Structure 1
Amino acid sequence: MKPLRVFAALTTLGIAAMSHAATTPVLVIHGGSGVVRRDLNPARENEVRAALARALQSGYAQLKAGKPALDGVTAALTVLEDDPNFNAGKGAVFTHDGRNELDAAIMDGDTLRAGAIAGVHRVKNPILLARAVLEKSEHVMLVGDGAEAFAREAGVTLVDPSYFRTEQRWQQLQRALKEDRDGKPHSDVETAKHFGTVGAVALDAQGHLAAGTSTGGMTDKRWGRVGDSPIIGAGTYANADCAVSGTGWGEFYIRTVAAHAICMRVSLMHVPLERAAAEVINQEIPAMGGNGGAIALDARGHIAMPFNTDGMYRGWIGGDGVAHVAIYDDEGNAAADLAPVEHSRQ
């Protein structure tokens, strides 16, 4: 019987070792959904695609080095926040009062720790301040002047508000203001519907997930409006089984608690990720009158990128280290590019 006991012990150790086997890291990002015309300026399209690729490579370098999913998310999003082609950080849209109000959130799926900030005007990289809230405070969300005071204490870089201005965003606001004065709905669909955020979800080598989102909100927004991006469970959520970052009409993502709703379908109802994401993004939200998209990733490396708008800036990268980027609805097949690596988790 002794040899059998030894065999049983070795078998148990083997199973335990398999359960902690390294996972193939995966990173998925978005740069916003909305009106993306097929006649997008070729130079700008090339800039967008290049920026998405840079963000993927920056974030994936962290994951390949064995760093946690939070590091992959943070590295990818700082690249997008620094690029004026996206509505986050530099290049954020303007409020009705001609200011930039920035929001961001990040969440660690392994511990359920989260950090979020909203309504800041001087934080160069809002995702870094959200990360600081997660790691250096006992709170989850900080807003406005208080968030910027915390940024100073945490050593997060502050800049003059003029840093965020781009002429394109300023002209979008001027068109919106003119239509406000004329009593007309915003006829410029780019101005009316530019809700784009930037977001990232990551699976690290330890099998842990994280999600992050950063945004400048909506052109011509008033009264300190805050959308879904910095609200944990609405635009950003991660747990042990699922990570989601949304982009779209934030009020509807808040009302459906969209990111959390997707992950609860995966975690509690055992709904496949792609179906879970589609049910919320392409059924529940449009049924209420909203629109947008999301990126989602599960602990087995499955990816979902549903959207119901003309396009969504998006990208993904896995074990082959190749950055895949897409804009339009007929581009890219993450399921084909990234066959998930099956692994056990305890």
Structure 2
Amino acid sequence: MSAPVTLLVHGGAGTLTRADLSPAQELEYRDALGQALRAGQSLLLRGASAVDAVVAAVSVLEDCPLFNAGKGSVFTHEGRNEMDAAVMDGATGQAGAVAGVVSVRNPVLAAQSVMQRSGHVLLIGQGAEAFAQSQGLAMEGPEYFHTAHRWQQLQAALAQNQVMLDHDGQRQPDQSKPIDRKFGTVGAVALDAHGHLAAATSTGGMTNKMFGRVGDSPLIGAGTYACDATAAVSATGAGEFFMRGVVAHDIAARMAYGGLSLAQATEATVRDKLDATGGRGGVIALDRQGHYQLAFNTEGMYRGLVQGNGPPQIAIYRD
């Protein structure tokens, strides 16, 4: 019996506790994650590919200012929004990514176009912008990506002289007044009706990051990876640790070479590549049998899943 179509999404991992969100804010997050899940689910139920499903889900989250991707991207030290995204097809091993784009409305669509039409894997900066425009993708000016709460987040990071993960820098230095909790790198993994896997990840990076900094999200094997023989993985957190540990591929490698299950491989990778090195964050992972993992070593992670034609299941906190 084949596994049901399955879709997982994440919206970032970090310092997230019930004290940080009002009931109204929590409802906003849950609604946004639910919209993303339903967008991908509807495609999967119609027989669409896992690639199309993860791109659709991530596009919804990029259009939502609650998360650190697309419209909700954080600011660099210079006050710019620089975005990264990647897509990988587990059936073919093909992948596409963009990094450091500043005007592409949906970076995940640019990554998909790179995969399908460029003959390359990763395009950066002005070259990625020009390619996206040549593909007829929607472009926006800096005012589209500029949100007041993100700007406030940058000011707090500058005041503390820190580069911050979204969920760790959202209080003022005196810790008394929340700036905002509407943040988080986004990603999705999917299993389609044909038994194929795919992964996609999109991010605005880290608040107050250096100009030109690229994280793990667009790096195949670090923050994004998919292979039908093993797993589809999308990561979120402190990107430098995920790059050093090649975390997404490490999960798949433990399955391929060590014979571990998805659960065993994910647990071992989080332990050895994140916990042991001080890295913070999480992953969503999925195999062809429909087994899934939503693992993180932080206080919380915006996350959700849907299988078959069932209802979305959404969670935020650890407990």
CA RMSD of aligned residues (A): 1.8
SS in 1 for 2:258: coil
Match of 1:275 in 2: 264
CA shift, 1:44, in A, is 1.4
Query: Per-residue deviation at 1:77?
Result: 0.5
Match of residue 4 from structure 2: 24
1:2-28 per-residue CA deviation (whole Å, 9 max, x = no partner) reads xxxxxxxxxxxxxxxxxxx75420000
- Secondary structure of the corresponding residue to residue 72 of structure 2: coil
Per the alignment, residue 14 of structure 1 pairs with none
Equivalent position amino acid for 1:46 in 2: L
**Corresponding residue of 1:91:** 72
Q: Aligned partners of 1:216 and 1:73: how far apart in 2?
A: 18
Q: What is the CA distance between 1:196 and its match in structure 2?
A: 3.1
TM-score by length of 2: 0.92
- In the alignment, the residues of structure 1 paired with residue 256 and residue 46 of structure 2 have an alpha-carbon distance, to the nearest angstrom, of 28
Query: What's the CA shift for 1:55?
Result: 0.4
Match of 2:201 in 1: 213
Q: Secondary structure at the match of 1:90?
A: helix
| 1:282 and 1:307 in contact (8 A); partners too | no
Partner residue, 1:167: 148
Deviation at 1:189, TM superposition (A): 6.7
Q: Give, in angstroms, the shift of residue 296 of structure 1.
A: 0.2
Residue number in structure 2 paired with 1:111: 92
- TM alignment of 1:141-290, pairs within 5 A: 141-180=122-161, 190-191=168-169, 196-240=184-228, 241-290=230-279
1:31-42, aligned counterparts within 5 Å?
A: 31-39=11-19, 40-42=21-23
Range with greater deviation from structure 2 (131-140 or 283-292) = 283-292
Cα distance between partner residues in 2 of 1:95 and 1:33: 19
| Whole-angstrom CA distance in 1 between matches of 2:265 and 2:184 | 22
Asked whether the 8 Å contact 1:315–1:325 carries over to 2, the reply is yes
1:256-296 Cα distance to aligned partner (Å, 9 max, x none): 10000001112232201011111112332121121100000
1:81, 1:125 within 8 Å by CA — same for their partners in 2?
Answer: yes
SS in 1 for 2:97: strand
Distance 1:61 1:229 in 2: 25
User: Pairwise mapping of residues 28-67 of structure 1 onto structure 2 (< 5 A)?
Assistant: 28-39=8-19, 40-67=21-48
CA deviation string 1:190-224 (max 9, x = no partner): 32899831000000000000000000000000131
Pair 1:24–1:139, CA change in 2 (3 A): same
Matched-pair contact (CA < 8 Å) for 1:109–1:210: yes
Query: 2:313 is matched with which residue?
Result: 324
Structure 2 contact 3–288 (Cα < 8 Å) conserved? no
In 1: Cα distance, 2:258 partner to 2:87 partner: 24
**Which letter maps to 2:308?**
G
Gap change, CA 1:189 and 1:149, over 3 Å in 2 = closer
3-state DSSP of counterpart to 2:296: coil
**How far apart in 1 are the matches of 2:211 and 2:8?**
33
Q: 1:289 to 1:229 in 2, by over 3 A?
A: same
- Cα distance in structure 1, aligned partners of 2:147 and 2:267: 34
Bigger shift: residues 31-40 or 203-212: 31-40
Structure (1 or 2) with the larger CA radius of gyration: 1
| Stretches of structure 2 lacking an aligned partner (at least 5 in a row) | 172-180
Residues 224-247 of structure 1: per-residue CA shift (max 9 Å, x gap): 111100000000000012100000
What corresponds to 1:295 in structure 2?
A: 284
For the Cα contact (< 8 Å) 1:199–1:246, is it kept in 2? yes
Distance 1:219 1:169 in 2: 8
CA contact (8 A) 2:34 2:304 kept: yes
Q: 2: distance between equivalents of 1:287 and 1:73?
A: 30
2:175 corresponds in structure 1 to none
TM-score, with length taken from structure 1: 0.85
Structure 1 portions without partners, runs of 5+: 1-20, 331-346
Q: Secondary structure at the match of 2:69?
A: coil
CA distance in 2 between counterparts of 1:85 and 1:282 reads 29
* More divergent stretch after superposition (292-301 vs 266-275): 266-275
- The CA deviation string for residues 110-160 of structure 1, in whole angstroms up to 9 with x for no partner, is 100000000000000000000000011110000000000001111111111
